[in-house]
Structure 1
Amino acid sequence: MDTLVDDSSAKLARRIQLERDARGWSLADLAERSGVSKAAISKIERAEVSPTAVILVRLATAFDLTLAGLLLRAEGDAGRLSRAGEQPTWRDPDTGYVRRQIYNRPDHPLELVQVELPPGRQVEFPASAYARIRQALWVTDGELVVHEGTERHVLQAGDCLGFGPPAPVVIANQSTRPCAYVVALVRN
C-alpha cells in the first residue's frame, strides 16, 4: 500500500509545484488563491513539511481539484480496477486521520474515500472545499459528529449524511474509539 507521508512526500511536493507552474502562478498567486502563506507553500514544495488535510484541501481547491484529485495526480494515474493493496493512503500529520483513496479516475465522476478518524480528533474544512462537489458521508464504524454550517449531525455506524449547500464543515470524533467512514463525492 502506498503511503504518501512515508514514501511519496516528494511526489506530493513536486505535484503541488507542477500544478502551480502549469498555471503560471507565483507563490504569492497560490497563497492568495488558497489562503495558505507563501512560506508554508514554499516549505511544502521543498518537502520540508508535510501539509495537513486542511492545507491540502485549500491548495487543491485553488487548483480547482478535489483533495482526492490532487493526491491521485501526485501518485500517478491508475486503471479502472482499484486493488485494495494499491490504494494510496495518506496520514494527516496534525490529527492522525488516515485517508484511503478507494476509487478516483479523471474520466469518472465518482470518487470514493475511506477515512479513519482517531478518538478525540477533528478535521475542519472551509466552505470553498465543497463549492464544486456534492458528497455523502457514510459511517461504517463508531460515532461521528458533523457540523455543517449551523447544523449539527450525530452519526452512528450505518448512518449516511448527504451534504447540503457549501458551508464550513467540522468532522469530529468525540468518542473514545476510532471512527471509520466512507465519503462518496462527485464534481458539479
Structure 2
Amino acid sequence: MSNMVDPLVARIAARVRMERERRRWTLARLAASSGVSQAMISRIERGESSPTAVVLGKLSAAFELSVASLLTLAEESPDGSPDGAADETAVAGGVRRRDETAEWRDPSTGYRRRQITGPRFPVELAEIRLPPGARVPYPAAAFAFVRQVIWVIEGHLTFHDGETVHGLDEGDTLELGEPAERVFANTTDGECRYAVLLVRGARP
C-alpha cells in the first residue's frame, strides 16, 4: 500500500499550519475558535487526514478567511510564491491546461472543487460539482471579507442563505449579501455543477 500523500492535501496541511502559526495560536486555541478537535487539526496539519468541506469551513471561519481563499492559498508554496501548476505563467496570462489545475474532493460528500483562476489573480473563480444528496453547510464567518456570486451551470442547487432558501436552476445566479450561515444542497438525483466567483476583501 502506498504511503504517498496527495499533493493538494499536503499543501492544505501546510497552509492550515502556517495560518495557525502566523497568528501564534496553539492547537487548543484553534480548536476552541473553530469547534474542530485538536486531534483532528493535528492530523490535518500532518497530512494524515484530508479535511471535509465542513471542517474546512470551520477552520477558515476561525481564520476569518473564506473557504475559497484557504484552498487557493494552498496552491501557493509555504513562502507565498506560486507552486506547481500555479506558476508565473498564470500571473502573466499564460494557458493553464485542464490537467494542470488541482481538483479537491471532499472525502465525506464527494463534493469536488476545481480552482479556475491562479492564486495571484485578483478575482477567484472555482468550479464546483455537487453530487446527488450532498449537503455542505458553512458558518457565517466563512463568508466574511468577501463578495461572492453563485452561478448554476448544470442541474439544480438548493441554497440556504440564513433563513432564506433559494432554488437555483441552470443559468440562475445569486449575489450574496452580508455573511450568514449557508448550506449548499443537492436534493436531486443528478449532479449539480456551479461556479463561485469571489472577490477578496480585507484579510486578517
- The answer, yes or no, to whether TM exceeds 0.5 is yes
**TM-aligned CA deviation for residue 22 of structure 1:** 2.0
- Paired amino acid for 2:38: K
Residue 132 (structure 2) aligned to one of 109, 113, 119: 119
Residue 163 (structure 1) aligned to one of 173, 176, 182: 176
1:28-177 equivalences in 2 (<5 Å): 28-76=28-76, 77=82, 78=86, 79-80=90-91, 81=93, 83=96, 84-106=98-120, 108=122, 110-177=123-190
**TM-aligned CA deviation for residue 153 of structure 1:** 0.6
**TM-aligned CA deviation for residue 89 of structure 1:** 1.1
- Paired amino acid for 1:157: E
Q: How many percent identity over aligned positions?
A: 49
- Segments of structure 2 that go 5 or more residues without pairing to the other structure are 77-81
> Hey, which of these two has a bigger chunk of strand by percent?
1
1:18 corresponding residue in structure 2 = 18
**TM-aligned CA deviation for residue 14 of structure 1:** 2.1
**TM-aligned CA deviation for residue 18 of structure 1:** 2.0
- Paired amino acid for 1:135: Q
2:79 corresponding residue in structure 1 = none
Q: Deviations over 1:69-123 (max 9, x none)?
A: 2223322223324613322210001110000011143461x11011000011111
- Aligned partners of 1:74 and 1:105: how far apart in 2? 9
- Aligned partners of 1:60 and 1:85: how far apart in 2? 27
2:101–2:115 contact (8 Å) kept in structure 1: yes
If the length of structure 2 is used for normalisation, what is the TM-score? 0.82
2:62–2:141 contact (8 Å) kept in structure 1: no
**TM-aligned CA deviation for residue 7 of structure 1:** 3.3
- Aligned partners of 2:26 and 2:165: how far apart in 1? 39
- Paired amino acid for 2:142: A
If the length of structure 1 is used for normalisation, what is the TM-score? 0.89
1:148–1:170 contact (8 Å) kept in structure 2: yes
Q: Deviations over 1:34-81 (max 9, x none)?
A: 222212111111222110112112222323332232223322223324
Q: Which moved more, 1:82-91 or 1:168-177?
A: 82-91
- Aligned partners of 1:72 and 1:185: how far apart in 2? 11
